[in-house]
Structure 1
Amino acid sequence: MVRLQHEGDELRRRLTVSAMIIASIPFLAYITFMLYILSPRLNTDIEETKDLLVPVVLYTIVIVGMAYTSYLRDRKASGFWSVFAGAVFFVLSDTILAFNRFVLPLPTPGLFVMFTYGIGQYLITIGTLQVTAKDSKAA
């Protein structure tokens, strides 16, 4: 708990509100793009998709928010790039899943989804272990 509070204090010292807003622009643009593409296909009377607009919007915000917060981490910290790249691969995995389901069926969606998902989870895990290993050596 103390470690998390310390990391939060460090983050506040490093980032100003304006820097955080500027950093959020590509992430907000991605959310906007995805919802622009997906909402016409979810906002229909088709039984299988008519109740999915709100859950898809919320899920898109959550996963892109995860990528955004991974980007806000200290770039000098061990594992920064691994965690951030993993978050991007995770978002890519869900993007492929959404496009396959709601926009255009892909020839082998499972392969692409699981490949990007697996790489994403691997990189997030490796990056987290790098931070943990560094912290345990410092203690």
Structure 2
Amino acid sequence: MILQKTRLWLTLYFIVTAIHLDAIAMRLHMLQNVTKALLMPLLALYLLSAIRHLRPAIFRNLLLTALFFSWAGDILLIQEQYFLPGLGSFLLAHLAYIGFFLKVRYTNHPLPLCKYPFIFLTEIVVLAFLFFMLPYLGSMRIPVIIYAVAISFTLLCAMHAFRLGEQPMGWYCIAGAILFICSDAAIAVQHFYRSLPAAGIFIMTTYCLAQWAITEGSCRYLKSRVKA
């Protein structure tokens, strides 16, 4: 029964995602807004259904915090004038994800090894993108830089949270963090540089897959702790 309910929430999440993408393509703004507001609550219900009774609760609470601030960011970004508060809300979401991955890393024994080449590669890519975007950011320069640093740390923390050879569920989280960066990079280009064809569909496809992948990988890891 619990497994069926868990699958139901996840199925509903992907159905609403598909409807949302169709609404973007057909420019049905009201339907876009309604479905966008439903996405993170459905993913949170999937998360709660999958790991409701797992302890310690700090893991679950950090993930729920990330989804809550992501939901708040989704709502705020519906209106252009709330771009900065929306960015701030997503910053808090990434801080919660960073807290989750650090918690996983430092309760994971033996401790996962540092992957220095990936650290340098990630930061080089982020810095190159920022240098490209800087002339176009105007008064938003500092907030965007802070956010870019935070999202790069989400990826780095996901990379270093798991022993990937033994814990392949970590790849879900890494893929999710990479997709999140792709989504946010497209938002930055669209908002500050130039309009992109089918930008809304690309942004929301990568975003919805990112949130699912991080949640899925996290749930699989937390379930594996119980079995171990």
TM category (shorter chain) comes to 0.7 to 0.9
CA contact (8 A) 1:78 1:134 kept: no
Unaligned runs of 5+ in 1: 43-49
Question: Which of 149, 160, 164 does residue 61 from structure 1 map onto?
Answer: 149
Unaligned runs of 5+ in 2: 1-55, 60-101
RMSD: 2.5
CA contact (8 A) 1:78 1:130 kept: no
CA contact (8 A) 2:105 2:111 kept: no
Q: TM-score by structure 1 length?
A: 0.80
The CA deviation string for residues 93-118 of structure 1, in whole angstroms up to 9 with x for no partner, is 00111111112211222111110000
Alpha-carbon distance between aligned partners in 1 of 2:116 and 2:125, rounded to the nearest angstrom: 15
Question: Which of 126, 131, 140 does residue 31 from structure 1 map onto?
Answer: 126
The aligned counterpart of 1:85 is: 175
Give the number of aligned pairs: 128
- 1:8 paired with 2:130, answer no
Q: TM-score by structure 2 length?
A: 0.50
What's the CA shift for 1:12? Answer: 8.1
Q: Classify 1:7/1:40 alpha carbon distance in 2 versus 1 (closer, same or farther; 3 Å).
A: closer
Alpha-carbon distance between aligned partners in 2 of 1:125 and 1:5, rounded to the nearest angstrom: 15
What's the CA shift for 1:30? Answer: 1.2
Q: Classify 1:11/1:27 alpha carbon distance in 2 versus 1 (closer, same or farther; 3 Å).
A: farther
The structure whose residues are more often helix, as a share, is 2
CA contact (8 A) 2:105 2:160 kept: no
The aligned counterpart of 2:225 is: 135
